Amino acid sequence: MDILGSFALLLAFLAAVYAVVAGIVGILTRRLLLTKSARNAGMAVFVLVTIAVACLEYFFFTNNFSMAYVAEHSNRALPAYYKFAALWAGQEGSLLLWTWLLSGYVFFVLFLHRKRHPELMPYAGVVMASVQTFFLTLNNFVATPFQVIASADGAGVMHLAKLAEGRGLNPLLQYPEMVIHPPMLYLGYTGFTVPFAFALGALLGRYPGEKWIHITRRWTMIAWCFQSIGILLGAHWAYAVLGWGGYWAWDPVENASLLPWITGTAFLHSVMMQEKRGMMKVWNVWLVFTTFMLCILGTLLTRSGVVSSVHAFAQSSIGTWFVVFLAITFTVCFAAYWKNRDYLRSDNQLDSLVSRESSFLFNNLILLAACFAVLWGTLFPVLSEWVQGSKISVGAPFFNKVNVPIALFLMLLTGVGPLLAWRKTSFDALMRNFAWPLGGGVLAGVVALIFGFRDAYSLVCLILCVFVTLTIASEFFRGARVISARDGTNLLTSIGELTMRNTRRYGGYIVHFGMVLVFIGIAGTPFNKDIQKDLGIGDTLRIGPYTILCQNFDQVSNNNYQSDRASLEVFRNGKSVMMLFPERRLFLASGITETMVAVQSSPLRDLYVVYAGRSPESGRPAVHAYLLPLVKWIWFGGIVVVLGTILALLPNRRTVLVLRPATERSWTGAIAEVSAAMGPVASRVEGND
Amino acid sequence: MTNTVRALKNTRRSLRLFFASSSVRFALLAMVAALLLAPISLNTASAQVLPRAKSIAKRVMCMCGGCQDSAGMCSHPGGTFSGPCETARAMQKDLDLRVARSESDDAILTAYVQQYGPTVLVEPPNKGFDLLAWVMPILVPLIALVLVWQAVRGWRHKAVLAPAGGPPIDPRLLARVEREAGNEPARENDE
């Protein structure tokens, strides 16, 4: 099986190389047969890499400890779902996962578009196959997952060796999220290859118009959605496993995942400018290029060890390969742009500064500012060491100081943008659309102040969140009212009808609402409380409205780990409200101890308890309790973001046009009728998105 | 009435005798002093020393080399103790002592930089080359804003100069629309 896996990977590499070469020759010689053959080779890569992945999984499930990768990352007692997830526990496997997911995307893109866009597809196919070739080079020649363990006998002859037991999976990875978090994140990273390939392909082939954007819009949204899920799951993993009461530490790996997400978000907005107005063609192409390159840069940063991270489980000297690939990618992109820049000439016209177009411009500017600030902070220690010879730290306070104002400004634009019309918005329309949301936001701020909400950033965040929520609600309400008046349906049905008629627009609003919920969750951070105390049986600890009584310490064990468990009874107002069981697990294969946090989550606050072990000073069991307001809103907001994105991916429901015989009617009558049906909306020029 | 006056006089005399005693006076003085000083000493123990030390601990990195946390937030998951490591605890204790000695925040941070180097600070120092860390995230968006502003100005100018797009409108239709909308019929040179 190891030979089958290795052989499949090698064949996949050859197929990818063939897809590149045959694709280029096919384009240059205009031989259709050759480009078709290249396409088939690109699709075959997925089949071959799938065989390799299946082989490696087979080794994990059969405890084949003659395979170095399996012995390093698994053991017999490891539960089946973690054996499955052990595939991406190290460098070699995670790179194989990357290649597999990428080849999956390539397969589906080539298959679904096999009969369409005959001029563009060969170019896009060559770009995708080139990226595949790079990763398959790593899989085959730099970090092969199919290395076997061998030992030399007395005569120096090498023999296969098989270990009796593996070293086990890193305990930090033995958490349900780790079964789905890396594949989700990688689906995001690899998914951005598709718009990149089409953008570069369209540029190289001088493919006319905005077609490449129409083709890749859904692919970009799919990648963005997976990236969002991956980031959220990663944050939840950090929250639930690392036991520090936080979910985002501006760690380099976290930042690396955020960077392409930010530029991807910018692209999803600015792409509308090109679709609606034919503007910002150069900008959009470079946004896609940058997003792809940031995916590679993030991988370089975290795998090369250039910056250290608690999330990095696969570091090695592989960085040089990524540097070279990044340099080649940039050179190709720049050369393609320079050679074909006249093709990207935009018909940029702006009728008014107060318009949807300018709000998108500012949105992109702010998103790029956030991206730069995160990248700059992540790389600055390296830059500082290079210039000054001494390393400095750039910790979470720096990122918070720089990014919180940017994020708040972005939230403001999230509310303002959708209320502005394409081309121009009149002052009256501006006042009419903003009065209620703004009033609601200010009122919420006043109420919050009265109730003792004193943190400035949190207060501004709350005001903006209410403002944005009301603007979104007003958008749904206005549209639904028109449908309701015309069809005689109730408002709720009308909202459903409205949403399904323009899923992209209203799905986008739901995504915005999800982000509002995430921001509300983050706004609770300044009000976090924590206390650490030695707790014997019968001792109590007070935090916020809760009193925690230590009832017992016991041990729970299975084949995989031994667990020390604290039984804590939680009282509120003298009444017992819950039991919490934080644990410390000693994983037998690796001999490493990890904590399992106990969390009681509610919309208002999370009670988060860590059994820290025996205090080095007193020798008594220590419990660290945190009271974390509004954290649950972040996870809920994340779910709303994902649902909104899925909705935006759905095709619009088509309205049925019923024709009736034309009658001679006066224009004024018709205008009055339409105005009556549309109400105040009629006075506003609206775009579709 | 006479009885009441007599009782009051007796009470006053007893009180005078009571307060005349030196031991009682000393005890009272001590009580008052204790009451006055108690808040100060309590304040010194809990409200000033520990929170300030904790706040400074969040501004310096834990120098154990095994984590990326501040000394105040150090929380090594797993191991023998899932909380502040030995290095972080030592740094916290040292900060407590320094704060108790009334050293200023700046003096403490300077001493730490001398001891561990600039890497001990969780944020880049705002001087010398490291000032760039703070300046660039502001400067770059500002430059970008200026560029966007220039571009937008150009685009607006273009919008004014650009001829009206779309197919030509039939003058008869336009005139009819204007007439039915209650406006004056469009004149030839207005089109």
Q: Which residues of B touch A387 (CB under 8 A)?
A: 129
Cβ-proximal residues to B164 (8 Å cutoff; 6+ apart), any chain: none
**What is the distance between the alpha carbons of residues A169 and A172, in angstroms, rounded to a whole number?**
8
In this prediction, residue B9 carries a pLDDT of 56
Percent of chain A beyond pLDDT 90? 52
Asked if A668 is an interface residue toward chain B (Cβ–Cβ < 8 A), one would say yes
Does the structure show a pLDDT above 80 at A684?
A: no
Determine the residue of chain A that is closest to B175 in CA distance. A667
Chain B residues with CB-CB distance to A565 below 8 A: none
Q: Is the pLDDT higher at A194 or at B148?
A: A194
The one-letter code for the residue type at B130 is: D
Average pLDDT over residues A583-597: 86
List strands edge to edge, sheet with A605-614. A529-534, A621-629, A605-614, A598-601
Q: Is A592 on the interface with B (CB under 8 A)?
A: yes
Flag if A349 and B68 touch (Cβ within 8 Å). Answer: no
Query: Encoding tokens for residue A604?
Result: 């208002």
Amino acid identity of residue A90, one-letter, is G
What's the mean pLDDT in A457-475?
93
Q: Does residue A398 belong to the interface with chain B, where contact is any CB pair within 8 Å?
A: yes
> Closest approach of chain A CAs to the CA of B123, in angstroms?
5
| Residue A575: how many other CB atoms lie within 10 Å | 7
Residue A549 has pLDDT above 80, yes or no: yes
Which residue among B120, B128, B144 places its CB closest to the CB of A369?
Answer: B144
CB A422 within 8 A of CB A277: yes
Residues 6+ apart with CB under 8 A from A442: A463
Q: Which amino acid does the sequence have at A486?
A: R
Q: d(Cα A324, Cα A296) in Å, to the nearest integer? A: 11
pLDDT digits (tens, 9 = 90+) for A75-94: 888 889 999 999 998 889 99
Distance from C-alpha of A299 to C-alpha of A672, rounded to nearest angstrom = 60
Any chain B CB within 8 A of the CB of A377?
yes
Distance CA A261, CA A511 (A): 14
Encoded amino acid at A348, one letter: N
The verdict on a CB contact (< 8 Å) between B82 and A251 is: no
- Does A610 reach chain B within 8 Å, measured CB to CB? yes
What is chain A's mean pLDDT, rounded?
87
Based on the number of CB atoms within 10 Å of its own CB, is B184 exposed (0-12), middle (13-18) or buried (19 or more)?
Answer: exposed
The mean per-residue pLDDT over the stretch A113-125 comes to 89
User: For B46, which DSSP code?
Assistant: I
Q: Per-residue confidence at A669, pLDDT binned at 50, 70, 90?
A: low
B171 interface with A at CB cutoff 8 Å: no
pLDDT digits (tens, 9 = 90+) for A325-373: 999 999 999 999 999 888 877 766 777 777 788 888 888 999 999 999 9
What is the pLDDT averaged over residues A510-534?
93
| Residue found under tokens 């496993």 | A241
Contacting residues of A for B122, CB less than 8 Å apart: 393, 395-398
Q: Are A247 and A610 in contact (CB under 8 A)?
A: no
A494 near A483, Cβ under 8 Å?
yes
Buried (b) or exposed (e) across A373-390, using 16+ Cβ within 10 A?
bbbbbbbbbeebeeeeee
A625 has pLDDT over 50: yes
A207-228 burial, b if ≥16 CB within 10 A, otherwise e?
A: beebebbebbbebbbbbbbbbb
B 58-97 → A contacts, CB under 8 A: 58-59, 61, 67-70, 73, 75, 77-83, 86, 89
Largest CA distance in chain A: 104
Average pLDDT, integer, range A484-501 = 88
Residue A688: predicted pLDDT: 39
How deeply is B142 buried, as exposed, middle or buried, from its count of CB atoms within 10 A (0-12, 13-18, 19+)? exposed
List chain B residues with CB under 8 Å of A591.
none
Predicted confidence (pLDDT) at residue A686 exceeds the cutoff of 80: no
Q: Do A610 and B82 touch (CB under 8 A)?
A: yes
Interchain CB distance below 8 Å, A393 and B61:
yes
B148 at interface of A, judged by CB pairs closer than 8 A: yes
Q: Which residue has the higher pLDDT, A173 or B98?
A: B98
Q: How many CB atoms lie within 10 A of CB A422?
A: 19
Q: Residues A262, A263, A264, A270: is their CA dihedral positive or negative?
A: positive
Q: Which residues of A touch B134 (CB under 8 A)?
A: 402
- SS3 track for A209-249: CCHHHHHHHHHHHHHHHHHHHHHHHHHHHHHHHCCCCCCCC
Taking phi first (over 0 means left), then psi (-120 to 50 degrees means alpha), and beta for anything else, what does residue A510 get? Answer: alpha
CB A332 within 8 A of CB A325: no
- CB contact (8 A) between residue B75 and residue A243: yes
pLDDT of residue B29: 52
| Paired tokens of A85 | 């997830």
Which tokens in the block code for residue A371? 């991206």
Inform me whether the C-beta atom of residue A671 falls under 8 Å from chain B C-beta atoms.
yes
Distances (CA, A) of A79 to A83, A183, A225, A241, A559: 6, 19, 29, 18, 9
Question: How many Cα atoms occupy the beta-carbon half-sphere of A152 within 13 Å?
Answer: 4
Closest chain B residue to A394, measured at CA: B123
**Interaxial angle between packed helices B105-116 and B50-57, expressed in degrees from 0 to 180 and rounded to the nearest 10:** 40
Q: What is the pLDDT of residues A2-27, one digit of tens each?
A: 689 999 999 999 999 999 999 999 99
C-alpha span between A145 and A96 (Å, rounded): 8
CA distance A195 to A191: 8
Q: Which residues on A lie below 8 Å from B144 (Cβ)?
A: 365, 368-369
The predicted model scores a pTM of: 0.83
Q: Which of A440, A441, A433 is nearest to A416 (CA)?
A: A433
* Per-residue pLDDT reduced to its tens digit, B69-81: 888 888 877 667 8
* Residue B161: Cβ within 10 Å count: 8
Contacting residues of A for B80, CB less than 8 Å apart: 593, 613-614, 616
Q: What confidence tier does A242 reach under pLDDT thresholds 50, 70, 90?
A: confident
Shortest CB distance from B133 goes to which of A391, A394, A532?
A394
**Closest to A252 in 3D by CA, of A375, A383, A366:** A375
CB < 8 Å from B in window 494-553 of A: 532
Inter-chain touch A384–B144, beta carbons under 8 Å = no
| Residue type present at position A292 | F
Least confident of A187-191, A248-252, B20-24: B20-24
d(CA A311, CA A269): 30
Q: Which tokens belong to B46?
A: 């809990």
Average pLDDT over residues A201-221: 86
Digit-coded pLDDT (tens) for A523-539: 999 999 988 888 889 99
Read off the pLDDT of residues A365-375 as tens digits, 9 standing for 90 and up.
999 999 999 99
Joined together, the tokens standing for residue A62 give: 């059969």
**Helix ranges (DSSP H) in A242-280:** 252-277
Nearest-neighbour CA in chain B from A245: distance (Å) = 10
Q: Using the beta-carbon criterion (under 8 Å), do B73 and A244 form an inter-chain contact?
A: yes
What pLDDT does A309 receive?
Answer: 57
The verdict on B141 touching A (C-beta cutoff 8 Å) is: yes
Residues in chain B closer than 8 A to A620 (CB atoms) = none
Q: What is the pLDDT of residue A215?
A: 85
* Average of per-residue pLDDT across A222-242: 93
Q: Is the pLDDT of residue A292 over 50?
A: yes
Q: Does A614 touch chain B (CB under 8 A)?
A: yes
pLDDT for residue B48: 35
Q: State the best of B81, B96, B109, B131 to mutate against chain A, taking most chain A CBs within 10 Å.
A: B81
Which of B67, B155, B181 is closest, CB to CB, to A349? Answer: B155
Q: Would you call A310 and B68 a contact, using CB atoms and an 8 Å cutoff?
A: yes
State whether B144 and A614 contact (CB < 8 Å): no
Residue A615 touches chain B, beta carbons under 8 Å: yes
The answer to whether A251 faces chain B, any CB pair under 8 Å, is yes
The three-class DSSP label of residue B171 is helix
- The separation between the first and the last C-alpha atoms of chain B, rounded to the nearest angstrom, is 111
* Per-residue DSSP letter, B126: S
Cα distances (Å, whole numbers) of residue B27 to B17, B19, B33, B36: 15, 10, 10, 14
Residue A211 clears pLDDT 90, i.e. is over it: no
From the list B132, B158, B180, the residue facing A666 with the nearest CB is B180
For residue B43, the model assigns a pLDDT of 36
pLDDT band at A306; cut points 50, 70, 90: low
Identify each DSSP E strand in A101-210 by its residue range.
150-152, 158-160
pLDDT of residue B11: 54
A668–B180 CB contact, under 8 Å: yes
A157 pLDDT higher than 90: no
Measured at the alpha carbon of residue A301, what is the angle toward residues A295 and A307, in degrees to the nearest 5? 150
Closest-CA distance, A668 to chain B, in angstroms, reads 6
How far apart are the C-alpha atoms of A260 and A227, rounded to whole Å? 9
Task: Say if residue A648's pLDDT is above 70.
Answer: yes
A contacts of B78 (beta carbons < 8 Å)? 171-172, 584, 592-595
Q: Which two tokens stand for residue A431?
A: 């006042």
Which amino acid belongs to residue B92?
Q
Spans in chain B with pLDDT lower than 50: 1-2, 32-49, 184-191
Q: Which residue has the tokens 């205008």?
A: A671
Closest approach of B119 to chain A, Cα-based (Å): 4
Q: How many CA atoms lie within 13 A of A590 on its CB side?
A: 21
User: In this predicted structure, what is the pLDDT of residue B75?
Assistant: 80
List the structure tokens of B145. 């804003």
The residues in A 55-84 lying below 8 A from B, measured between CB atoms, are none
Biggest CA pair distance of chain B: 118
Residues 6+ away with beta carbon under 8 Å from A514? A637, A638, A639, A640, A641, A642, A643, A644
pLDDT for position B36:
44
